[in-house]
């Protein structure tokens, strides 16, 4: 699956900003347009986040063969495995 296909799936589920799109990698903003934090670098809520990545979006991303890593506290890089 190309990054653009995953971006469409993510954008259908969440209002997240993406940029620097390449074939198999892209960057996403930590906060959605409605103020929800999908990626919270400082979160200590381990029921909702796994290493700061909201569990629901992390499962969605991993299901499609990608993984998330931090670029900085406001941006994540989503890359194909």
* 3.90.320, 3.30.310, 3.90.1070, 1.20.120: CATH of 3-80: 3.90.1070
* Chain segment 11-28, per-residue pLDDT in tens: 999 989 999 999 999 999
> What is the pLDDT confidence band of residue 77, given thresholds at 50, 70 and 90?
very high
Spans of all domains in the chain: 3-80
* Chain segment 31-76, per-residue pLDDT in tens: 888 888 899 999 999 999 999 999 999 999 999 999 999 999 999 9
Spatial CB neighbours of 69, under 8 Å, sequence gap ≥ 6: 76, 77, 79
């Amino acid at each position: 699956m190309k990054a653009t296909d995953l971006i469409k799936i993510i954008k259908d589920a969440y209002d997240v900003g993406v940029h620097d799109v390449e074939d198999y990698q892209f960057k996403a903003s930590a906060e959605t347009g409605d103020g929800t934090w999908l990626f919270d670098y400082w979160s200590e809520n381990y029921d909702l986040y796994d290493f700061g990545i909201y569990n629901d979006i992390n499962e969605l991303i991993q299901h499609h063969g990608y993984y998330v890593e931090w670029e900085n506290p406001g941006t994540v890089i989503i890359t194909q495995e």
